[in-house]
Amino acid sequence: DARVTQTPRHKVTEMGQEVTMRCQPILGHNTVFWYRQTMMQGLELLAYFRNRAPLDDSGMPKDRFSAEMPDATLATLKIQPSEPRDSAVYFCASGDRANTEAFFGQGTRLTVV
Amino acid sequence: RKEVEQDPGPFNVPEGATVAFNCTYSNSASQSFFWYRQDCRKEPKLLMSVYSSGNEDGRFTAQLNRASQYISLLIRDSKLSDSATYLCVGNTGGFKTIFGAGTRLFVKA
């Protein structure tokens, strides 16, 4: 059963620490999305990639967030330094064609204290 | 203004009721639309696609009105298991997928 895999599932860290979240998209999917979900803002699109190239990261705070795809099977989202306001659930999703369904991972629940 | 906007609810309805959600989008270039369902502390999952001609799947009907830039979801004969958050989604330029904040539905016995 193909699925998007995210690690870690939960992360608690202290303010100022670096946080790295990882995502393995479904094999064969060449579009990868990173979303952040909070009660106040809902699901916000942070960045997305097509064939490993970043197409749009305008939703991402550039000073502390970075997203990369080192290879087709791994996407990373890094926060350095982390702040309490970064506490949220971070979802990765992947898709294989334009205008079609995005498949979500189970999310990383990040708490910055 | 957000690109995709929804009434956050919550909608509290009894079992068997019919409930409808609307969603508006601001980007007239949006090409495709979807409804996703998200259960508490779970990831969003596709419920159904939305076509200009309308789309029906069992008790669920989705419609798109391009002239007024809104999409709708109608749930007939609500079940307890329909309780969830329903997310409206617009897709611009093929890959940029924008979610609304979601509408919470509670179906009561």
pLDDT digits (tens, 9 = 90+) for B70-105: 999 999 999 999 999 999 998 876 678 889 999 999
The string over B78-93, giving b where at least 16 C-beta atoms fall within 10 Å of a residue's C-beta and e elsewhere, is beeebbbbbbbbbbbe
Q: Tell me: pLDDT of A106 over 90.
A: yes
Interchain CB contact of B90 with A (< 8 Å): no
**What confidence score (pLDDT) does residue A56 get?**
87
**What confidence score (pLDDT) does residue B97 get?**
85
Sign for the CA dihedral angle at A50, A53, A56, A62 comes to positive
**What confidence score (pLDDT) does residue A13 get?**
98
pLDDT digits (tens, 9 = 90+) for B21-30: 999 998 888 8
Task: Give dist(CA B15, CA B24) in Å, integer.
Answer: 27
Interchain CB contact of A12 with B (< 8 Å): no
**What confidence score (pLDDT) does residue B19 get?**
97
A105 neighbourhood in chain B, CB within 8 Å: 43
Q: Tell me: pLDDT of A98 over 80.
A: no
Look at A58 and A77; give whichever has higher pLDDT. Answer: A77
Interchain CB contact of A56 with B (< 8 Å): yes
